Chain A
Amino acid sequence: MLALVLSSVPHLSDDFRAYQLGTYLLYGVAAQGVALAWGRAGFLPLGQALFFGLGAYSAGMVLIASQANATLLALLPLAVLLPAALAYAIARLVFARQYVSGPNFSLITLALAMLAAQLANQWSGLTGGFNGLANIPEIGGLDRYSTMYYLIVALVVASTALLGWLYRTPLGALWLAVAQNENRLQFFGFATDRLKALAFALAGALAASAGALYATQQGLVTPQAIGFELSTELVIWTAVGGRFGPYGALLGAVGIGLLSAELRDVWIHWQVAMALIFILVVLRFPAGMAGALQTYGRRLWPRSWMAGEEPLSSQSAAAPNYLPAPPRNRAADTSTLEPIRLEFNRVNVRIQGVSILSGLQLHLRGAGIHCIIGPNGAGKTSSFNALTGRLPLSDGDIHFSGRRVSGLRADTIARMGIARKFQIPSVFSALSVRDNLCIALWGNRANALQLLQASTWRWRSTLWEFLIASFPFLETESDRHAGELSQGQRQMLELAMTLLMEPRLLLLDEPCAGLSVAETGQQTDVIKRAVTLIGCTALVIEHDMAAVARLSDQVHVLHQGRLLASGSLADIQGNPDVQAVYSGGQK
């Protein structure tokens, strides 16, 4: 439909309007990349013109060179692929070092764009310097003032369709998950830095392809196509137009960009009007103009195409033919026949002089549920953090089934079959319950291709059925956003998600916290049965002694960062050291 609307413009208006619209449509495609990175995957690129300009300059150079030697046209795809590869490299390098997206990524991209603009200005032999790369021929014999417009429309339609499709695939959901709770996503075995790099590479490709067409449409590329000002405008257009879907960015670029171009010569206060629009949009319409259109459209015409998307996974929920999920990835696993071994060997963790774990020595073997108890500050959660790569060890090491896990990344450890449930229930609050469960199911199971297929949404497993039966709300509330659930429901949801991974080692951090007595009973029941079903080892941190009694095969007491005692619950309860610690005695 977009194609129809856009193609009709030259007929309704005139060629010049189409030419002008074409330029802003190209900016819009670049802005769609910004929307992908920012609105979807949750990190803001402040220097996107870098890729736009790279695409423009490369395409310009190839086209100029191809006038002498037509075979050089084969190099044209490089104008898109090379910037995309650069984007991927930058994102991988930056995101590998830290797992939250702070302002530093944004400023790195900004600095790179500024550097590129300076080099474009300076290397005038290559780029034409300040006056720019001129006399770029029209591509494929198209006339830039008439027929080239349709090529631009084709690009816009292609990019919008591509993004629209991607947003509905499992990958699209994963990007949303990255934006909402990257930490949690890593614990399902997803390499979030790679996910973000993929998003950024695609954004770079979009910007570069837009830039390439821009070069041939304008016939001139100046350093302004690669610098700070255009980068900022792309962000502004995305923010005002709406960054949560592919249409918003187009709307922003075309709407605001064209509006500015028109008003600029007519009204001297147009910039004031623009500023007021920005402020209004931010304060009142956080989803931008596209979001506002959707909201009002939904109110006026509930069933129209403007009503927006339904929760991602519900599109397939209606289909009764579920697919059995493939077995989890065994690549990093040792043989399942061998009993599980977990060893903390004299683990020391010291942060700024405070000893968190001091010589923790704990060996576990075989299936079963082990409960870890201890007073506050004993180091229980810290031992989990050390095990899963969130707390660096000062000394000692941790082995899991013969492999050294201390010092590995969280997602690598998750892929080895170690699943963790957090103390404060950590789920993807803006995704539906069903989406949350799906993501947990995909962890360590779905390969890259499957993440692009709609059929992956229909995966179910026997454990899933079991969990639905145990926690009925997972089915009845499956379309609700996880953030709207009650605390208890969220605990259960997170437990279900952790179990769905079918891990070999299950780490549960206070799974019954905040639950009523009945709910605790339900929760512990599920844990026991699931552990038997999966055949894993579970480490459960708990304070509720009733739960401990119900669950544990073995109990371990931690105190001041080290193991105090191990044994059955009766043994522990009779141990005088333990009694002293709990009743406030000295140790």
Chain B
Amino acid sequence: MDASAVTLALNLIYHIAVLALVGLGLGIVFGLLGVMNMAHGEFIALGAYAMLAVQNHGLAPGYGVALAVLGTAALGYPVERWLVRPLRSRPLDTLLATWGLSLLLRKSIEAVFGRQYQNVSNNLSGTSTLLGAEYPDYRLLLIVVIFVGFALLALWYRRSPAGARLQASVANRPLAQAIGIDVDRQACVAFVCGVASAGLAGALLAPLVRVEPLMGMDYLLDSFFVLVVGGLGSLSGLAAGSGIIGGTQVVVSTISDQTGGYVAVLLLSIGFLWLRPNGLLARR
């Protein structure tokens, strides 16, 4: 099999998987709760910096992942309680509030770690040859982790009682409340899980990407487009959006060039947003 075709296929899978991973946090917060969290990228950055902090203290990366998840979760609770919940009825106002939050988080990162580029080392830096193509090991691991993780998540959401309760309160909040589901607590838990996923994404990606205080913005934009194109409120929407956006970017960049890829993604997003205003697979 042609090595470059295999590389292209692997790049495609990797890019779609990463978009899904990065978009998951915003998918939970924006898709399920309707909160336009402009600080989503900064939570990812926090996850990456957690890995850096752990590395600077000489501990194993596993602790970094744990710190990333727990740290962002711990931060997510007060944010939900005092910033997001009072603004629940004013969704467009949460945009401004979370924008302010993103500025604060960025400045805090700068204050603690400085503005320079940081390096989180990659402990799995070799490459493996897969069907004739050489591909980085860490990326392969990440692909597997993401797919397995999403499969488990989908299973949990569809099959478990907690997942069913969550689906209920998304579909019809007053009714869910009426039958005894504590929607406030659920929204809080969902928000915390959403930002924790962002932290996890940051931690997992840190060895591969640049780490600096401004790193979050790209992830924010990517996530918004993925969600709105694919459809808010469902995992399949997230997957569809990642597939469309990621697929377009990789394919067009390979055939033409990166500028073409970028423009194609924008045009495609505009097209989808126009023709399918609720996204491809909308649930709400």
Interface residues of A: mostly helix, strand, loop or mixed?
helix
A107 touches B273 (CB 8 A): yes
Interface residues of B: mostly helix, strand, loop or mixed?
helix
B270 touches A98 (CB 8 A): no
Q: In the bound complex, how far is the Cα of B270 from the Cα of A277, in angstroms?
A: 33
Closest to A284 in B: B86
Q: In the bound complex, how far is the Cα of B271 from the Cα of A112, in angstroms?
A: 11
In the complex, chain B residues 234-273 whose Cβ is within 8 Å of any chain A Cβ: 259, 262-263, 266-267, 269-270, 273
In the complex, chain B residues 268-283 whose Cβ is within 8 Å of any chain A Cβ: 269-270, 273-275, 277-279
A3 interface contact, C-beta 8 A: no
B107 touches A275 (CB 8 A): yes
Candidate in B87, B94, B96, B221 with the most chain A CB atoms within 10 angstroms:
B96
Min C-beta distance of A125 to chain B, whole Å:
16
A564 interface contact, C-beta 8 A: no
Q: In the bound complex, how far is the Cα of B83 from the Cα of A276, in angstroms?
A: 12
Which one of B36, B103, B224, B274 contacts A97 once the chains associate, using CB atoms below 8 Å?
Answer: B274
A-B contact count (CB 8 A): 97
Min C-beta distance of A47 to chain B, whole Å:
11
A118 touches B273 (CB 8 A): no
Min C-beta distance of B104 to chain A, whole Å:
5
Q: In the bound complex, how far is the Cα of B99 from the Cα of A36, in angstroms?
A: 21
Q: In the bound complex, how far is the Cα of B95 from the Cα of A38, in angstroms?
A: 13
B270 touches A271 (CB 8 A): no
Min C-beta distance of B270 to chain A, whole Å:
5
Mark contacts of A227-258 with chain B using CB atoms, 8 A cut-off: 1 yes-contact digit, 0 otherwise: 01000100110011000000000000000000
Mark contacts of B70-95 with chain A using CB atoms, 8 A cut-off: 1 yes-contact digit, 0 otherwise: 00000000000001001100101111
Known A102-B277, A282-B87; judge A272-B104 contact (CB<8 A): yes
Q: Which residues of B contact A447 (CB under 8 A)?
A: none
A276 touches B100 (CB 8 A): yes
Q: Which residues of A contact B224 (CB under 8 A)?
A: 107
B96 touches A236 (CB 8 A): yes
Known A115-B266, A271-B107, A272-B107; judge A94-B96 contact (CB<8 A): no
Q: Which residues of B contact A102 (CB under 8 A)?
A: 277-278
Which one of B36, B93, B107, B270 contacts A111 once the chains associate, using CB atoms below 8 Å?
Answer: B270
Min C-beta distance of A228 to chain B, whole Å:
8
Q: Which residues of B contact A115 (CB under 8 A)?
A: 263, 266-267, 270
A276 touches B274 (CB 8 A): no
In the complex, chain A residues 277-319 whose Cβ is within 8 Å of any chain B Cβ: 277-279, 281-283, 286
Q: In the bound complex, how far is the Cα of B90 from the Cα of A98, in angstroms?
A: 21
A282 touches B36 (CB 8 A): no
B97 interface contact, C-beta 8 A: yes
Which one of A118, A228, A236 contacts B259 once the chains associate, using CB atoms below 8 Å?
Answer: A118
Closest to A115 in B: B266
Interface size on B, residues (CB 8 A): 34
B228 interface contact, C-beta 8 A: yes
A114 interface contact, C-beta 8 A: yes
Q: In the bound complex, how far is the Cα of B90 from the Cα of A240, in angstroms?
A: 15
Min C-beta distance of B19 to chain A, whole Å:
16
B225 interface contact, C-beta 8 A: yes
Q: Which residues of B contact A240 (CB under 8 A)?
A: 96
Which one of B96, B270, B277 contacts A278 once the chains associate, using CB atoms below 8 Å?
Answer: B96
Q: Which residues of A contact B100 (CB under 8 A)?
A: 274-279, 282
Q: Which residues of A contact B221 (CB under 8 A)?
A: 114, 228
Q: Which residues of A contact B273 (CB under 8 A)?
A: 94, 104-105, 107-108, 111
Q: In the bound complex, how far is the Cα of B83 from the Cα of A112, in angstroms?
A: 30
A283 touches B97 (CB 8 A): yes
Q: Which residues of A contact B262 (CB under 8 A)?
A: 118
B183 interface contact, C-beta 8 A: no
Q: Which residues of A contact B83 (CB under 8 A)?
A: 279, 283
Q: In the bound complex, how far is the Cα of B278 from the Cα of A280, in angstroms?
A: 32
Closest to A93 in B: B274
Q: In the bound complex, how far is the Cα of B87 from the Cα of A286, in angstroms?
A: 10
B66 interface contact, C-beta 8 A: no
A185 interface contact, C-beta 8 A: no
Which one of B93, B95, B103, B228 contacts A271 once the chains associate, using CB atoms below 8 Å?
Answer: B103
Candidate in A118, A274, A277, A278 with the most chain B CB atoms within 10 angstroms:
A278
Min C-beta distance of B245 to chain A, whole Å:
11
Which one of A98, A104, A281 contacts B228 once the chains associate, using CB atoms below 8 Å?
Answer: A104
B181 interface contact, C-beta 8 A: no
B101 interface contact, C-beta 8 A: yes
A103 touches B96 (CB 8 A): no
Q: Which residues of B contact A104 (CB under 8 A)?
A: 228, 273-274, 277-279
Q: Which residues of B contact A446 (CB under 8 A)?
A: none
A44 interface contact, C-beta 8 A: yes
Q: In the bound complex, how far is the Cα of B38 from the Cα of A44, in angstroms?
A: 15
Q: In the bound complex, how far is the Cα of B100 from the Cα of A8, in angstroms?
A: 34
A122 interface contact, C-beta 8 A: yes
B269 touches A107 (CB 8 A): yes
Q: Which residues of B contact A239 (CB under 8 A)?
A: 93, 95-96
B277 touches A279 (CB 8 A): no
Closest to A102 in B: B277
A44 touches B228 (CB 8 A): no
**What are 21 pairs between A and B in contact, CB < 8 Å?**
A93-B274, A98-B277, A103-B36, A104-B277, A104-B279, A107-B224, A107-B225, A107-B273, A108-B274, A114-B266, A115-B270, A118-B259, A118-B263, A122-B259, A235-B95, A240-B96, A272-B103, A274-B103, A275-B103, A278-B99, A279-B97
| Leading 6 A-B pairs by shortest Cβ distance | A278-B100, A275-B103, A279-B100, A275-B100, A282-B97, A98-B277
